[in-house]
Every structure is written in C-alpha cells, then in structure tokens.
Structure 1
Amino acid sequence: MRLSVLIPTYNPDCGRLTQTLAGLKKQTLDTCNWELILIDNNSSNNFQARLDLAWHPSAKIVTENKQGLTYARLRGFNESTGDIIVMVDDDNILNNDYLEQVVSIFNQSPDLGAIGGKSLPWFETEPPAWLHEFHVNLALRDLGDNPILSVWDQKYPDAAPIGAGMGIRREALESYTEKIASGKSKISDRTSISLSSGGDNEIVLEILKLGWQVGYCPQLQLQHIIPAQRMEVAYLARLVRQTNKSWVQLLQSHGINPWRRISHLGVLPRKIKAWFIYKAWQSQPSYIKWQAACGLYEGLAGLPSD
C-alpha cells in the first residue's frame, strides 16, 4: 500500500513545523513508499522560504486559498495518490515507526476505515496542575494499551480517532469528500479566526455510516506540542465554548443529538444558573467548565425549530 502524509497549515510556527518534519524524516518506512504533501492554507508569514523538503523524493507544497482546515484537508485528499492517508498537524511529532505501523494495521484489518492512537503531550512550558482536566480539548489522548474497535450504532464512539495522526483508507473517504465538495456539510472547522471544530468527527461519522470500522490502536503514538499560549485560561475558555457549540451542530446534522433545542430567551438564565453550579468564580478550571456549558446552550439555541 502506498501512503500519503498530509500536513495542513496556516501561518505555522516554523520551529514546531521543523520538529514535525524532523519526526517524519526519521520514519522507518522508506520514503519511496510514501509521499509528503504540505497544504499552505493561504498563510501570510512566508514560512515556505524557510523549509527544507529536499530529503524527501516525493514532497510538495500546495496552496489552498479558501480559508479553513476542512478546505485544506480536502485539497490534500484531492492532491494525494496513496491508498492510505495520514493526517499530521503542524505541531505533531510521530514516533519513528508510526507510518510503518499504519500500513501494517490496515493490511491486517481490511474492515478498518480509520485509525488513531496515543497523542501524548510535549509541553513547551510547565503546565498548570489542573490542565489534565482539559487534555481532550487539546487533542491529547491515551486510552491505554489495548486496541478498541467501533462500528456505527447511532452514536459517536468514545474511542474514535482524533485528527492528529489519523490514518484513513482512501476508499472509506468517498462519502465525506463528496459531501464537502458539494457544499452539503454544515459543520464549521478551524479557521484563522475561529476555534470551532467538528471536521475530524465528521470524517469519522461518514466513514462509520458507510459500514467501516474505526479503531484506537495504542501502537500508534505521537507527541503533540503544546505551547504556553494554549494553556492560558482565556484560550481554553474560548476553545471549549466554541467546541461545544459546534459539537451540538455536528450531532444534530447526523441525527444523533441527544438534547432538545432551547429558545434563545432561555440561554441567559441557563448561563446564570450554570455560573453558580460550576462556581465559576472559584477557580480557573471552574470558569473554563462554565464557558463549556455556555457553548452547549448556545449550540442548542441555534438548532432549527421542529
């Protein structure tokens, strides 16, 4: 199986991106068996001039002018030629055997459409003691050392792959790429001005609904670089609020939303009540959790009327 590695990026930190590329350069899978595609999502910081991709015989940079992670990924899917696609963020450092493991897993499991593994933190500065409560929001994950397989059963699986390091069988992507290209998706994802998310989850749901399995495979491990800015309370509060709002929209669009719509008039009273329930004034984690609740209420108020 030939493999394609996609790195979507927008105004990347060149130091972190260089670490990501260094991790790829050390892969045990020979470069003749995989291609490297970096998708520049209309950056303005001229980072391309500082990159060295000469070490890879099948590396290229393409530009996607339409802003947003979803469009950058779609461009990468369309540009790639591999039977397997691995999505790598510009702050991920894959273990040396990551690509080789991906190929092996897909070869051994023909029913798997998408896989992921452990996303372990590489903190650039000392994290606050409470940060572990929000690891999932920072795309950090360790579900143990046993594999977990999931099939479609009218809900989103807890062990579904996350975007960082997700391996995808190309033929399992057909429904998703058609949906995005046709404009039928209502899910917003990261842009230069928004922390909304849902693109990873929509990929997983479309793959599951086609009848494929998805899996958590602990032998797949990467390090996710977490800079100081992403550990700040203001950033985390904004992240969880926008993530929860888009999460409601995602579940609704796939008919698996477990909550009822609320009126816009009911949002403020709920936020005030949640302020006291979470004791948002008491600690930084409490405040962040209150912001998460606010995002949920905003998402429920934005649902269409019956």
Structure 2
Amino acid sequence: MFFSIVTCTYNPNPKVFIKLAKAVNALRINYNFSFEWLIVDNGTQSQVNDTLSLKYPLINTEYISIIKEPKAGLTNARITGVTHSKGRWIVFFDDDNEPDENYLNNIYNLIHKYPFVKCWGPGRVSVTLMDPHVPSWVSSRKDMFQEKHINEIIFSNEKTWSNCHPAGTGMIVETDVLTGYIDRVKAGDYTLTDRLGTSLSSGGDTQIVFHAVQQGMHVGLAPDLVINHNIAARKSTFKYLKKQTYAGCKSFMKAHNEVFIGNKYELVFKDNLGVAKRTVRWIMRNYSQIYKPLVALDFFALLGSLHSPYFVANRNPPALLRVFIYVLVGDK
C-alpha cells in the first residue's frame, strides 16, 4: 500500500462530508500505487457510516475503514488513523476538503522527483463559503481559510514558519516521519491536542511540519496539488473566527518551542499592567476602525499572543488577561 488517506471527523456537516466522499471516490490512480481511506470518528454524535451509506452510495467501499477514537482531540484521532494505516505515505483530508481527481497521481510524481521532501501541501487551495449570505469582509479574506494560489514548487527546511510550510488541509507526510512524531507525543514532548470537541485548539499540524524539519527533512507546497476547502456556515461567522484567531496565536509559540528545544522563542510575560498598556495602545491605534470585524480580529490575535508565553510555560495568565479571554473569547 502506497497511500493511506486519513480523515478525522467530529460531527461533520453531512452535505460537506459527502462532497469529500465523492471526491475520494473520483480520485484517479495508476498501476504504480493503491490507496486506502481511513475515517476516524472522534466522538461524532450520529454515526459517520450512516452519513456515508444513507447520503451517498459509494461505488466501491472495500478500501474504506471507519475507526472510532473515543479520546477527544484531533491529535489523538490522527494518531489512531496513522496507527491503523498500511501506507508508506499519509494523506490528510479534512472532512470539509474536496481534492482534485489527480491529487494522488501528482503526489506520487512529486515524491519520486523530490525524495528529500517528506511533507507536502497543496499549492492551490480554493475556498467555497457555504453560507450564501456571508458578509463581504469574510469573502474578501479567504486566506483565513487557507486559500492560496502559487505558481511554482517551493520547499524549505527553515526552523521558522515560512510560505513553504504546509497547513493541515490536504497535507501529505511520509509515515516514518509521523511515527517519530507519534513517539514524541506519547513521550509527552509534544502536547498540543488540536481541535478538542468544540474547543478550537490549534498547533498539532504545525508540530507535524516542524517535526519533519527538526529531523532534517524539507517541507513544501506544489501547484499541482489542488484542493477545494468547503467552509460550513458556522465557520464563517465572527464568533468562530475570533476563537480561531485567538487559538492560533496562543498555540504557535508552544508548537515551535516543544519541537525546536535548542532554538526556542524567548518568553516575554506581561503582568496586569503590561496587558493593560498593550490593550490601551492597541485601542488608541485602532480606535477609528475598531468596529470593523477584520480590525477586531487583530485584537483577538493580540490576546492570543499575550497568552502564548503563559501557555508555553503552563502558567495561568494574569487576572486581567483571563477576564478578557473569558468575556471576549469565551475561553477559560
């Protein structure tokens, strides 16, 4: 088995999930490789196999396995998927992805042309917003949903995040690299859970990419890898995006420091006075535009950045920051 597609899902939107099922069913393969599709049900309230069997009868279900992982957290679900896989390479499709029919063929060619790159991501990600009434400020910033369109193959082994580093959507990783990553998770060295139930935790896919780099591998993007990212209506709301922005900024430093222990970011802790000063400075700078959602999202990025060093050190942030996070973000 050359490829194992792993999809981790928690309460998927049936209409969106079926788009993925149809796309996987339409994937073209050649005689050089075969693939399997492992769907990891991470505590879905209604059965995932009901979604598949009732909504869309797949032409061939022999290559599909549905696995249950009761322990919450996207990282736990990914580990279960990889552990049950048979492939030399793992292809991560989220339950809202829709890969191009040549996705696997193009990955296969890239793997053989660039054997030193052990983690790939799509260079062309189109975003479809499922809400017909989505506000213009959302539709004008589809990059918030990982939209990108590059024209050439790029790769890097930089230890800081760059435009060459893949995001989680459609990510492809050599199984041996993931085995090493899983060992570090089980040893307690990597602790980020990624999505945990309704909590928008973040950083697990970042740690996978960083782990590949830490092992001396290159990571990259390719324009021949094309995928559509279907965004359910609830994910294009300000409420959802503010939590996503906050969680990403909160988690990034921890994702980096746990992997690159010899090249850590310096932790700068702000006390109550420091948090107040940064908040006032931000308000004064953005006062005339504070009502604009995209400007407001920048404030939630600030909250995540202020929380980040405390999150790395496993310490409670100062009281003022805790109040901001609880009242404005809705997180504890």
Distance 1:275 1:294 in 2: 13
From the superposition, tell whether residues 278 and 259 of structure 1 become closer, same or farther in structure 2 (CA, over 3 Å): farther
From the superposition, tell whether residues 168 and 303 of structure 1 become closer, same or farther in structure 2 (CA, over 3 Å): closer
* Pair 1:271 & 2:279 matched: yes
Map residues 1-306 of structure 1 onto 2, 5 A cutoff: 2-29=2-29, 33-52=34-53, 53=58, 55-117=60-122, 118-124=124-130, 125-131=132-138, 134-142=141-149, 144-151=150-157, 153-253=158-258, 254-255=260-261, 256-258=263-265, 260-265=267-272, 266-279=274-287, 281-304=290-313
Deviation of 1:257 (Å):
5.0
Q: TM-score, normalising length from structure 2? A: 0.85
From the superposition, tell whether residues 250 and 140 of structure 1 become closer, same or farther in structure 2 (CA, over 3 Å): same
Distance 1:63 1:271 in 2: 44
Say whether the 8 Å CA contact 2:76–2:193 is kept in structure 1: no
Q: Secondary structure at the match of 1:300?
A: helix
Deviation of 1:230 (Å):
1.7
- Code of the residue aligned with 1:275 in structure 2: it is I
Q: Deviations over 1:1-39 (max 9, x none)?
A: 611111100111111111101001111116971011100
Q: Secondary structure at the match of 2:148?
A: coil
Deviation of 1:97 (Å):
0.4
Q: Gaps (5+ residues) in structure 2?
A: 315-332
Deviation of 1:198 (Å):
0.5
Q: Secondary structure at the match of 1:282?
A: coil
Q: Gaps (5+ residues) in structure 1?
A: none
User: Which has the higher mean CA deviation after the structures are superposed, 43-52 or 289-298?
Assistant: 43-52
From the superposition, tell whether residues 10 and 281 of structure 1 become closer, same or farther in structure 2 (CA, over 3 Å): same
Distance 1:92 1:148 in 2: 22
Say whether the 8 Å CA contact 1:240–1:292 is kept in structure 2: yes
Q: Deviations over 1:124-160 (max 9, x none)?
A: 1254333367534323232x21110101x33223221
Q: Secondary structure at the match of 2:24?
A: helix
From the superposition, tell whether residues 246 and 133 of structure 1 become closer, same or farther in structure 2 (CA, over 3 Å): farther
Work out the percentage of aligned pairs sharing the same amino acid: 23
From the superposition, tell whether residues 208 and 186 of structure 1 become closer, same or farther in structure 2 (CA, over 3 Å): same
- Code of the residue aligned with 1:183 in structure 2: it is G
User: Which has the higher mean CA deviation after the structures are superposed, 33-42 or 162-171?
Assistant: 162-171
User: Which has the higher mean CA deviation after the structures are superposed, 106-115 or 48-57?
Assistant: 48-57
Q: Secondary structure at the match of 1:45?
A: coil
Deviation of 1:196 (Å):
1.8
Distance 2:271 2:70 in 1: 35
Q: Secondary structure at the match of 1:278?
A: helix
Deviation of 1:284 (Å):
1.3
Q: Secondary structure at the match of 2:37?
A: strand
From the superposition, tell whether residues 149 and 170 of structure 1 become closer, same or farther in structure 2 (CA, over 3 Å): same
Q: Secondary structure at the match of 1:220?
A: strand
From the superposition, tell whether residues 71 and 217 of structure 1 become closer, same or farther in structure 2 (CA, over 3 Å): same
Say whether the 8 Å CA contact 2:167–2:206 is kept in structure 1: yes
- Code of the residue aligned with 2:11 in structure 1: it is N
Say whether the 8 Å CA contact 1:278–1:290 is kept in structure 2: no
From the superposition, tell whether residues 276 and 112 of structure 1 become closer, same or farther in structure 2 (CA, over 3 Å): same
Q: Secondary structure at the match of 2:166?
A: coil
Say whether the 8 Å CA contact 1:6–1:87 is kept in structure 2: yes
Q: TM-score, normalising length from structure 1? A: 0.91
